[in-house]
Structure 1
């Protein structure tokens, strides 16, 4: 006789089979990452987006993080070639290709990473998408790191203290600043900073506060110099292989894009801003001397003189992109400086 108990057991078995089949049939979206697991990009941003994607696609697409794929500049090519399905990287690592998003890197924006990331996404979507700098890639989001600082093993009270010092720079606006500051620039990915500082290969780095914790730089730096309105910001994009998207149903393509764009950009910027706060705490705990330069100090006055006209240089540099760069810069600054986090 087929009892209620047997029916229940059969139902559980069938449910397990269905769950197994759904899980087995889910498409895996492989995201390549080059930062350590402790960085908020990997601890918060990608896991949160993965949850959004899985929920939006009702479990049909699942995200998997993959580490150790090489220099961050290769992420663009790895995604284009389909070696991985999606990733993120810093535009300055590929000089000349992604000039437009570096609009947000100009010194003196004076906001945190969340506001800057939202502003960058909106300006990219309105002004820059048509320039097709990301040919071969589909952009998921744009974000910035927090305000850049100088993290060093020597005290800085004047720009003259920087002359001739070996400073790690990441490209983009940092390269221009290093030239103006007369430092000896050393190009290297962020992940090499700890080793280079520890071994004395460099005297300091240009980097945001978050890396005091995420890359443990508080262990190998003695001084941090922070400019009042921001030394620079760094621009990143998050992108996916268009062929991978085309392999999905229209329903799932739309679902993935619905949890990307401004929503993803805002979250990535907010996570970095949170990381900056954690980095500040780590620096204090390790007794790193932090110099938050006052607006009236000599160093601040020197810096403001040094950066005069840099925004015009950026506008001229993107003339071949055929976009209204001046209007885009004005709008980006307006959005960023008037941004209020939604409650």
Structure 2
């Protein structure tokens, strides 16, 4: 083919592509998107149910213009939640449901949400996450490249063991307790003279069965769905850490959307979070009944006993004050002590 003929083809192609672009603009056609979202856990979780509702609602309300593919068990990050959050921050993926504990593994300032005995009821959690405390977390998320689309919940973390109910701090002495690999947890249990052990959760059942560890702490759903009642006789419902879920979107992507799409995404995310919270709380009530039927002793500490645990947790706050920020910590403490 001669150079002249090739030049004519290239010019024609350029004009054609240009005309296509102009027709899209002239027709006010909004852009189509195919987004990716991950959840840390599997398809049987309330996290997945809420993510699916969110994706289905977005697709329905945009007549298929926007679709969201959901990947369970952190498939996009080889099973690593921390790597998954980093992908969200750098835009490798678009959305995720992740525990605030995972964010704290990347930026320890988020650890303030896991301060022991800070949030003690669902009412506390709602007041704080919808108030100044939540606004501080949202600001930190935006600093890290994540647009916050609200909070859902994994629930309160409870402690289990196969020795006795945990009624006072002394009952934790010398117990080998598996905890997340995060300073707040290891510091807290060491202060109670327990022996905190960090390991992959996939290893916990076998470690409990073989006596390598004595206990673990997790929300009820995790204990139930993992069959830990088979190797743990006691659960203490002390609500010592509230496990918040963050529905996050890559901030650069969010900022690139027009106002109408931003409002749509924010509204449907809020609805998905409310749905997740509702089904998670209802599910926990049923799971606790089934755990009792399986022979697990479920102990609810008295107010006086909880106060002993709260008093014993104070060194954690002193230890992390500089990391969390004194003013931020005071905001959280003041709001936690407020009454509705």
Could you tell me the TM-score, scaled by structure 1's length? 0.74
- Please point out which of 61, 69, 81 is paired with 1:64: 69
The offset of 1:324, in angstroms, is: 4.7
**Alpha-carbon deviations, 1:222-263, whole Å to 9, x = none?**
111123xx32222332212234435655432331123235x5
Which residue in the other structure is 1:154 paired with?
A: 163
* Higher fraction of helix: 2
In 2, Cα distance between the equivalents of 1:264 and 1:123?
22
In 2, Cα distance between the equivalents of 1:104 and 1:257?
25
State whether structure 2 residue 190 is matched by structure 1 residue 179: yes
> What is the RMSD computed on CA atoms of the aligned residues?
3.2
Which residue in the other structure is 1:278 paired with?
A: 286
Which residue in the other structure is 2:331 paired with?
A: 327
Which residue in the other structure is 1:120 paired with?
A: 129
The offset of 1:191, in angstroms, is: 5.1
State whether structure 2 residue 44 is matched by structure 1 residue 38: yes
The offset of 1:168, in angstroms, is: 1.2
Larger radius of gyration: 2
Moved over 6 A (4+): none
- Contact between 2:237 and 2:300, CA under 8 Å: does it hold in 1? yes
State whether structure 2 residue 64 is matched by structure 1 residue 53: no
- Contact between 2:172 and 2:193, CA under 8 Å: does it hold in 1? yes
In 2, Cα distance between the equivalents of 1:131 and 1:247?
20
In 1, Cα distance between the equivalents of 2:147 and 2:108?
14
State whether structure 2 residue 170 is matched by structure 1 residue 165: no
In 2, Cα distance between the equivalents of 1:333 and 1:26?
46
- Contact between 1:82 and 1:241, CA under 8 Å: does it hold in 2? yes
Q: Structure 1: any 5+ residue segments left out of the alignment?
A: 1-24, 339-343
In 2, Cα distance between the equivalents of 1:103 and 1:165?
25
**Partner-residue secondary structure (3-state), 1:36:** coil
**Alpha-carbon deviations, 1:35-94, whole Å to 9, x = none?**
12222111x321222233234434322222212421222221122344432112233344
- Contact between 2:82 and 2:106, CA under 8 Å: does it hold in 1? no
Q: Structure 2: any 5+ residue segments left out of the alignment?
A: 1-30
Which residue in the other structure is 2:250 paired with?
A: 241
In 1, Cα distance between the equivalents of 2:171 and 2:287?
25
Matched pairs, number: 303
- Please point out which of 234, 241, 244 is paired with 1:232: 241
